[in-house]
């Protein structure tokens, strides 16, 4: 069983397994259905259907061609996307897992206001399971519905995601117990080092992919407030080494910046 994750992100985070409950509301990923009445971004459907090689609940939030290529190895029905595409787009993929009949599907739409961690309320992608209505005739066959969409996004803009209960059974929460972050950037070339605290959630894993929600912030109240809240998918090799090729920097790094690349490892103990 995974007990510890160590991440290197221009610094080192040491994370230990936390309780299943949440210490504060600002650090939770909402379980209830948020407001999804209005849409502020266009979602382009790349692929959808009722049968997939991925038969467990899984969500991926991908910003680079390498990680998307790993998803294509798990689902060879996906269209090929070049690196140029990810300079201005991200991909959100949602796999429902197996269902005993037809009539089920996956829906991804934009909501109007979600605040997670220390990120101000902003539009977000909401993923939900659509089940057949009662007394409706459905095909008697095993299905595995999925939907994959792209959205136009600034490379340094974080992506907020919420989902219904179908994708919340395997989530595991970790707490940042120690860590430092050294920031160098911005127009003035500022350099600053500060401690970090917060949470990391392993939302879902499938094959060599794992999707995370990272919520960390500056633990030194005497320094400028800085934070990072983002959903992202990384690649894990056979030795347990983790690479997140593209992660937004939030306010951990002054603007302008090109985001972060994360490397680390899963380990036991």
Q: How is the chain split into domains, by residue range? A: 4-24+169-260, 32-71+79-167
For residue 251, pLDDT beyond 90: no
Percent of the chain whose predicted confidence (pLDDT) is above 90: 39
Q: Which of 70-79, 142-151, 225-234 is predicted least confidently?
A: 225-234
Only one residue has tokens 């985001």, namely 259
Looking at residue 39, its pLDDT comes to 42
Instruction: Report the pLDDT value the prediction gives residue 120, as an integer from 0 to 100.
Output: 58
What pLDDT band is residue 208 in, cutting at 50, 70 and 90? Answer: very high
Residue closest to 124 by CA, chosen among 132, 112, 136, 133: 112
pLDDT of 20 over the 50 cut: no
The reported pLDDT for the residue numbered 98 is 95
Q: What is the pLDDT of residue 82?
A: 95
Rounded Cα gap, residues 48 and 231, in angstroms: 22
Q: What is the number of helices (H) and of strands (E) in the chain?
A: 1, 15
Phi, psi at 54, each rounded to 5°: -90, 110
For residue 15, the model assigns a pLDDT of 41
CB 235 within 8 A of CB 250: no
Q: Is 255 helix (H, G, I), strand (E, B) or coil?
A: coil
Is residue 57 within 8 Å of residue 37, measured between CB atoms? no
Question: For the whole prediction, is pTM greater than 0.95?
Answer: no
Reply yes or no on whether the pLDDT at 168 is more than 70.
yes
């Amino acid at each position: 069983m995974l007990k510890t994750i160590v991440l290197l992100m221009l610094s080192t985070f040491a994370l230990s397994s936390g309780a299943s409950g949440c210490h504060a509301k600002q650090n939770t990923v909402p379980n209830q259905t948020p407001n999804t009445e209005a849409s502020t971004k266009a979602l382009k459907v790349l692929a959808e259907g009722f049968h997939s090689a991925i038969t467990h609940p899984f969500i991926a939030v991908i910003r680079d061609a390498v990680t998307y290529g790993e998803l294509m190895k798990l689902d060879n029905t996906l269209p090929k996307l070049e690196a140029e595409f990810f300079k201005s787009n991200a991909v959100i993929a949602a796999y429902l897992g197996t269902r005993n009949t037809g009539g089920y599907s996956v829906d991804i739409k934009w909501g109007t206001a979600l605040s997670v961690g220390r990120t101000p309320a902003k539009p977000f992608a909401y993923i939900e399971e659509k089940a057949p209505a009662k007394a409706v005739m459905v095909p008697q066959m095993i299905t595995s519905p999925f939907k994959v969409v792209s959205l136009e996004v600034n490379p340094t803009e974080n992506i907020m995601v919420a989902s219904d209960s179908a994708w919340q059974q395997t989530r595991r929460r970790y707490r940042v117990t120690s860590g430092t972050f050294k920031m160098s950037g911005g127009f003035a070339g500022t350099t600053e080092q500060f401690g970090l605290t917060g949470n990391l959630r392993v939302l879902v894993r499938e094959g060599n992919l794992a999707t995370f929600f990272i919520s960390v912030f500056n633990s030194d109240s005497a320094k400028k407030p800085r934070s990072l809240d983002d959903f992202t998918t990384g690649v894990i090799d056979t030795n347990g080494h983790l690479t997140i090729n593209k992660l937004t920097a939030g306010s951990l790094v002054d603007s302008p910046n090109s985001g972060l690349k994360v490397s680390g490892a899963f380990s036991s103990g």
